[in-house]
Amino acid sequence: MDTSIDPVLLDPAGPGADLVDLTRALCDIPSVSGAEKELADAIEGLLRDLPHLTLVRDGDALVARTDLGRDRRVVVAGHIDTVPVADNLPTRLEGAGPDAVLWGRGTVDMLGGVAVAVALAAELGAPGRLPAHDLTWIFYDHEEVDSSLNGLGRLARNHPELLHGDFAILGEPSNAGIEGGCNGTMRVEVRTRGVAAHSARAWTGENAIHAVAPVLARLAAYEPREVEVDGLVYREGLNAVRIEGGIAGNVIPDACTVEVNYRFAPSRDVAEAEAHLREVFEGFDVEVTDAAGGARPGLDDPLAAAFVRSVLDTTGGAPAPKYGWTDVARFAELGVPAVNFGPGDPLLAHKDDERLPVAQLAQCRDALRAWLLDG
Amino acid sequence: MDTSIDPVLLDPAGPGADLVDLTRALCDIPSVSGAEKELADAIEGLLRDLPHLTLVRDGDALVARTDLGRDRRVVVAGHIDTVPVADNLPTRLEGAGPDAVLWGRGTVDMLGGVAVAVALAAELGAPGRLPAHDLTWIFYDHEEVDSSLNGLGRLARNHPELLHGDFAILGEPSNAGIEGGCNGTMRVEVRTRGVAAHSARAWTGENAIHAVAPVLARLAAYEPREVEVDGLVYREGLNAVRIEGGIAGNVIPDACTVEVNYRFAPSRDVAEAEAHLREVFEGFDVEVTDAAGGARPGLDDPLAAAFVRSVLDTTGGAPAPKYGWTDVARFAELGVPAVNFGPGDPLLAHKDDERLPVAQLAQCRDALRAWLLDG
């Protein structure tokens, strides 16, 4: 099967240029995590012969760079994998014109954002369309699965120089508004121990589930903070996400585990987050099982400020904080300020009824294009 | 393989009569629940040709009755199945004489008690060994598994007349002392509901695990009663035996379930027990998943009182309450007062190191024999 995409979709001067068709073409090549090769090949096919881009392929990740000798470099990145298809491919367009809605897996998370990036990668740098900054376009694999497989993380290990930049934009869905930085996330297990016994003689044992009562009481009473960082207000959260205890209907349980997920503002680092949880659960056995620091929004950078103005001019939208953890945190770790900016409602990501108001595609493209051309 | 047991072990006048050897012979025919046939055949083989007994076989349950025209009838019952073998068969005898200990699956729960019953079934009713009451010996299957499979329950449905009696003794391990009646048991599920959400935006959901905090707090604070019934003090218990909630590390859980086991004194019936739990967990969704009423000890019956005296004379032990639910409750339901009385420490039942001080075999036999002969 030939799954290449007709490059006519990319030519902004040609009659066939159509972001909606391009988004559909990208979505209709299924690319569930681990099976991104065809889609990576198709994107490589679209960009390979463009003289203003230098390509590097790493597995199913692709980096395309301009080399115009500009002072500053902007990175635009997006993952090309999706969560599993839920009988929602091929895509389906409902309505027409600017009110049309494109239904299907990947339309929101995040092949709409990838379509915008692919279109601009082809356009900016071509004769007469020279950008104000050098540009690095990154399309990567394995974002929707275990963090150790993440294609952006792999690129950072294999080719750290390719991720270098002064500012990065991640095309994750943000309703075509700028969502700055991201909260950090930490998972801990809070455990209690007891003494097993037959439940007919419960007094010979010690109930580990009863012992967990104060842990749940503290969680129920906890008041999450709202923290202002670089002008954006981040809302935290502390929640039990799983609880488990007991082995049989007639045995006093000797162990109980509460898994807790803490989402913390980017003003707090991982060590501070852990110290806070140890304080909240003082007196209990606490083990950190997973942690990733957040990212400050970095909107005080002049490059970022210009981008904020461009989006404001195009969409009227002011920047907001990003609550979920995203790969902007990887850029933050590399010292590159980064924001989320892409078409689609993040609340529809991963849903069976994932769908994109197509008007957001052009909004995102226009805001990005204006800023990248004019600086 | 011939798994019959040499009847010489049963002849009280012969040189081979040996309760220890008989117990070993019974244990060494594995009879995990569902595979009792061989052992049932062996016991039937021992009793089939005795002229003073009439046998009825129902599946792998066996009922052997005298018909001496006595005024009153005593039932002695024991289950012949065991929990799964844990590399603890064949049996192993440690030490010698009255201090010897017999190790292995079934020695405690409850083939020691079955051996006592088989030996007395063969003896009492034979010429010169006429008992004061008519006797019904019941050996049944499937006690260690789901209650719906219980062989005694099946006999009660198929042949209710065979279970009739004025008093019943269940040979469950009780350290050769009388354990009267039993507590009832009830299981309920206490459930909370919430609203699922991504844990990065926890405020859009409602945490069902947090909602369960008051349930655990009430359990932790609960003070179980001690209730005197017919002269014995029953200790109750109310315990979470299982808790479950949450589906993923980044999802606010929309459901949580606490399974609670209530052990209640036989002065309270199932309906009263349920009313009590609905009061304890008021404001929560409570569903009864399993219930079995207890049994009063019934030691005020003259037959029982004589048995208590016989045990006191033989072992010096006064009657105590039985905490665990046993099949005495089935007899109680049929209107037959019943007690537990058998060799072995109930705390060793189901354990890998299940073992029986063999001296208790003769103690049990002697106390039962004296009472059954003299009335």
Catalytic residue among A36, A134, A143, A274: A143
Q: Tell me: the pLDDT tens digits for B285-326?
A: 999 999 989 988 888 888 888 999 999 988 888 899 988 888
Q: How far is CA B5 from CA A168, B30, B360, in A?
A: 84, 13, 22
What are the structural domains of chain B?
A: 7-182+295-374 (3.40.630.10), 184-292 (3.30.70.360)
Other CB atoms within 10 A of residue A160 CB: 10
CA A156 → CA A138, A162, A328, A344, distances in Å? 11, 8, 13, 27
pLDDT at residue B14, as a whole number:
57
Q: What is the pLDDT of residue B374?
A: 84
Identify the pLDDT of residue A299. 86
Q: How many CB atoms lie within 10 A of CB A2?
A: 5
Tens-digit pLDDT profile for residues B39-76: 999 999 999 999 999 999 999 999 999 999 999 999 99
- CB-nearest to A259 from B217, B241, B246 is B246
Q: How far apart are CA A15 and CA A26, in angstroms?
A: 19
Q: Is B191 helix (H, G, I), strand (E, B) or coil?
A: strand
* Interface residue of B147, B241, B250 to substitute, partner A, most A CBs within 10 Å: B241
Distance (Å, whole) CA A34 – CA A177:
30
Task: Name the residue facing B213 among A200, A213, A235 (closest C-beta).
Answer: A213
CA distance B333 to B337: 9
CA-to-CA dists, residue A7 to A171, A350, A368, B56, B216, angstroms: 21, 29, 21, 88, 63
- DSSP-assigned letters across all residues of B2-51: -----GGGG-TTSTT--HHHHHHHHHTS--BTT--HHHHHHHHHHHTT-T
At B323 the pLDDT is: 81
Residue B10's pLDDT is what? 82
Predicted interface score ipTM higher than 0.85: no
Q: Which residue of A has its CA nearest to B183?
A: A200
For B199-241, what is each residue's pLDDT tens digit?
A: 988 999 999 999 999 999 999 999 999 999 988 999 999 999 9
B14-43: per-residue pLDDT in tens?
555 689 999 999 999 999 999 999 999 999
Token pair listed for A114: 């990838």
Find out whether A63 and A136 touch, Cβ atoms under 8 Å: yes
The per-residue pLDDT for A119 is: 96
Report which of B136, B146, B149, B140 is spatially closest to residue B111, judged by C-alpha positions.
B140
Point out the residue among A187, A250, A325 whose CB comes nearest to the CB of B241. Answer: A250
Q: Is B257 on the interface with A (CB under 8 A)?
A: no
Min CA distance, A96 vs chain B (Å)? 32
Annotated active-site residue A143? The verdict is yes
Looking at per-residue pLDDT, the higher value among B150 and A323 belongs to B150
The interface residues of chain B toward chain A in range 196-235, judged by CB-CB distance below 8 A, are 198-203, 207, 209-213, 216-217, 219-220, 224, 235
Distance CA(B140)–CA(B330), nearest Å, equals 13
Q: How many CB pairs under 8 A join A and B?
A: 160
Q: What average pLDDT does the structure give for chain A?
A: 93
Q: Which residues of B touch A241 (CB under 8 A)?
A: 199, 209, 246, 248-253
Distances (CA, A) of B37 to A47, B81, B88, B139, B291: 76, 10, 20, 12, 29
User: For chain A, which ranges sit under pLDDT 70?
Assistant: 1-2, 12-17
Confirm whether B144 is a catalytic residue.
no
Inter-chain CB proximity A245 and B243 less than 8 Å: yes
Measured between alpha carbons, how far is B238 from A156 in angstroms, rounded to an integer? 55
Number of Cβ within 10 Å of residue B221's Cβ equals: 9
Chain A contact probe: residue of B207, B257, B287, B345 with most A CBs at under 10 A: B207
**Nearest partner of B120 among B52, B29, B68, judged by Cα:** B52
pLDDT at A248: 87
Contacts of A210 in chain B (CB under 8 A): 216, 219-220, 239-240
Our measurement of the distance from residue B110's CA atom to the centroid of its chain's CA atoms, rounded to an integer in Å, reads 9
- Contact present, B168 and B332 (Cβ < 8 Å): no
Q: Which residue(s) pair with A32 in the sheet?
A: A82
Chain B residues close to A247, C-beta within 8 Å: 242
Whole-angstrom CA distances from B188 to A204, B293, B295 are 22, 14, 20
- What is the pTM assigned to this prediction? 0.77
Measure the CA–CA gap between B20 and B204, rounded to whole angstroms. 68
Q: Does B288 touch chain A (CB under 8 A)?
A: no
Among residues B81, B134, B345, B354, the one annotated as catalytic is: B81
Average pLDDT, chain B: 93
Chain B residue whose CA is closest to A182: B200
Residue A155, SS3?
Answer: helix
pLDDT score at A81: 96
B212–A211: do the CB atoms touch at under 8 Å?
no
| Strand residue runs (E) in chain A | 54-58, 61-65, 73-79, 92-94, 101-103, 134-140, 167-170, 179-180, 184-193, 197-198, 226-229, 232-235, 237-245, 251-252, 255-264, 285-292, 320-321, 338-340, 355-357
Block residue for tokens 């009063």: B296
Angle, in degrees to the nearest 10, between helices B112-123 and B37-47: 20
Characterise B106 by phi-psi region: left (phi > 0), alpha (psi -120 to 50), beta (else).
left
Q: Establish if A108 touches chain B: CB-CB under 8 angstroms.
A: no
CB within 8 Å of chain B, chain A residues 306-365: 323-325, 347
Determine the pLDDT at residue B40. Answer: 98
Report the gap between the CA of B125 and the closest CA in chain A (Å): 38
How confident is the model at residue A2, as a pLDDT?
65
